[in-house]
Amino acid sequence: MINKNVDVDSLVTVVELSELFGVSVRTVQRLAQEGVLPEPEGKQGNANLYSLKRATRAYCDYLKKKVEQQADNSGDKLKEEKMQADIKLKEMQIEIIQLKTDIKKGEYIDRGTVLKDFRAFYKVFKRFALNIPGRIAAIAKGYVEPVVSKGIKKDLRQEITSMLNNFTVVGYKGETYKQEKPYPSKRHGRK
């Protein structure tokens, strides 16, 4: 039954509204259920018929409100992001003040002292690391021939020297150590 006060030519179905609005039929049905669209003006079979003019106006109002809400939300989001940035700035300023205070109190070590201590540590570490091949060779002497034991010592020393040469720490380049000349060896599966 169609309302007699409405122009029959301006009545459209949900399918026609979905095509006009550029959305799915399901979206138009959901909008009708949520009360966004006006009540149907009548039916044609099982299909609801809507006034094109009233439905279009209602949908435009709905979109306008949706855009305004998003604008409000994005404005709130920008305010929140600004507040978070201000908080981080204040925290960083506090850290800078704390660092300056600690430096004045002498709670930080200057770079020269750190480098001097690091160099001393590195020399001790190098001596320790380069003694490892000799210790392993001494242990291996009881299990392998002396020539093989010397070869193990030489190979390990060469490997450790290579590793020490590649050892770097940010801000400090370690000493370069002489690498022993590689020697041909057929032991340990090498050719």
| Per-residue confidence (pLDDT) for residue 190, from 0 to 100 | 44
| Per-residue confidence (pLDDT) for residue 4, from 0 to 100 | 55
Rounded Cα gap, residues 32 and 36, in angstroms: 6
Burial 169-189 (b: 16+ CB within 10 A, else e): eeeeebeeeeeeeeeeeeeee
Do 141 and 149 touch, CB atoms closer than 8 A?
Answer: yes
pLDDT tens for each residue of 3-17 = 556 565 678 899 988
Provide the 3-class DSSP secondary structure of residue 172.
strand
| Per-residue confidence (pLDDT) for residue 7, from 0 to 100 | 61
pLDDT tens for each residue of 34-66 = 999 999 888 888 888 988 888 888 888 888 888
pLDDT tens for each residue of 100-124 = 777 777 777 777 888 888 888 888 8
pLDDT band at 183 (very low <50, low <70, confident <90, very high): very low
Do 14 and 43 touch, CB atoms closer than 8 A?
Answer: no
